[in-house]
A = this chain, B = another copy of it.
Amino acid sequence: MKVFVLGGDGFCGWPTSLHLSAQGHEVVVVDNLSRRLIDVDLDVDSLTPIRPIEERLEVWKELTGNEIRFINLDLAQEYERLVDLFIKEQPDAVVHFAEQRAAPYSMRNPRAKRYTVDNNVTGTHNLLCAIVETGLDIAVVHLGTMGVYGYGWSGSAPIPEGYLTVKVPTPDGELDREILHPANPGSVYHMTKTLDQLLFAFYAKNDELRITDLHQGIVWGTQTPETALDERLINRFDYDGDYGTVLNRFIMQAAIGHPLTVHGTGGQTRAFIHIKDTVRCIEIALNNPPNRGDKVSVFNQVTETYRVNDLAELIASLTGVEVAYLPNPRNEAVENDLNVTRDRFLSLGLTPTTLSEGLLEETRDIGLKYAPRADPSKIIARSVWKAGMETSADLMR
């Protein structure tokens, strides 16, 4: 099928584009390169030496014979161009990664909060509106986040895949009603994904758009079989305080012999998935779209859960570095359990890559190999959730 990958130059978008291309799909990368621009703005860089998008695509064509085209387009700002493009290209599906995706960045300052809301909501709405305007039957696969659910809401019940059936009291007894899991976002970024959910629900109901929303955990790992073909295809690895996720921070710190910085008690449980599984999940979702008139199809895109301090201990035991406990910049519960339903992808054939299998390789082939490129001063988180909160940077002054 012909697939547009919106945000196809980013951390998830790039390996997804290559994977879909390798599977024989016609892929068009649509991206405004905003992720690279934010790197410039934050004065940070991917640990891995990522190449310009045009060079990446030339290398891919050289090595595989598969052509991926690139279109520089800002989804939130260039609505008319998007409509023209849909009419001209008639894609079968769109994978939508084109959102600001870092929670700490989204809490950094008013400019970043506003950019995150405006870019993500306007971009998603433009996409939906353009599909309706063209009248084309373009399936949408969107990258959501586990963060829409929050933590601990369901007690001992596992977090369902999008929907749950609750009992509503009425004068005549109780009524069973299926609801979208209540939204409990922990940051402005996560909030935008809960807004997306309502946009999707409306356009699925009113216009019968076919939409899949994938609530992903924290992605770890850098390479997929396709990005590993040539160093010029390498995927990005973020380790800075805003874009680096917990596992990348630990890997980076281990590689440079710095103590692993745990925010808070480390009792927070998080959900994880390897980037190799992400790209497979996207393809499974593309091959299993909902029908017209169906509600939004929701998958939990998660393979494992880990407590942050267990993760730190695991990496400490692999590498010999220490663990350091720092103030938590997030406004969140000190500890939480996390029990996630993930039956849908497993039943469609996903065989997960586990942390215990892949972590050593990741530390060796990415962390240690590229450690000389790292700027250790960028690792520490400086964004805080509320004015006046203490940061790790404060503590280390």
Contacts and interface: CB of A to CB of B under 8 A. Distances in A.
Contacts of A164: 168-169
A183 B165 CA distance: 15
A115 to B, nearest CB: 11
A157 B169 contact: yes
Contact of A157 (B114, B117, B171): B171
A365 B154 CA distance: 56
Interface in A57-75: none
A166 interface: yes
A157 B331 CA distance: 36
Interface stretch (A174-182, A255-263, A355-363): A174-182
A202 B183 CA distance: 10
A318 interface: no
A317 interface: no
A395 interface: no
A187 B300 CA distance: 28
B198 A175 contact: no
A168 B154 contact: yes
Contacts of A177: 153, 166, 182
A349 interface: no
Interface in A153-197: 153-157, 164-172, 174-175, 177, 179-180, 182-183, 185, 188, 191, 194-195
A50 interface: no
B114 A126 contact: yes
A157 B182 contact: no
A168 B155 contact: yes
B179 A182 contact: yes
B169 A135 contact: no
A130 B111 CA distance: 10
**A: interface residue count bin:** 35 or more
Given A167-B166, A168-B164, A121 B129 contact: no
B157 A129 contact: no
A113 to B, nearest CB: 5
A386 interface: yes
A269 interface: no
B183 A194 contact: no
A206 B117 CA distance: 16
Nearest to A177: B153
Given A110-B133, A153-B177, A167 B167 contact: yes
Contact of A79 (B114, B183, B185, B205): B114
A198 B170 contact: no
A387 interface: yes
A155 B179 contact: no
Contacts of A113: 125, 129
A191 B165 CA distance: 22
A156 B183 contact: no
B201 A175 contact: no
A284 interface: no
A167 B174 contact: yes
A154 to B, nearest CB: 6
A283 interface: no
A107 B394 CA distance: 50
A207 interface: yes
Contacts of A129: 110, 113-114
B188 A385 contact: no
Contacts of A331: 205-206
> Which 6 pairs show the lowest CB-CB distances between chains A and B?
A157-B170, A166-B166, A167-B167, A179-B182, A117-B125, A110-B133
Given A155-B170, A191-B202, 8 more contacts: A157-B169, A157-B170, A157-B171, A157-B175, A166-B168, A166-B169, A179-B179, A195-B195
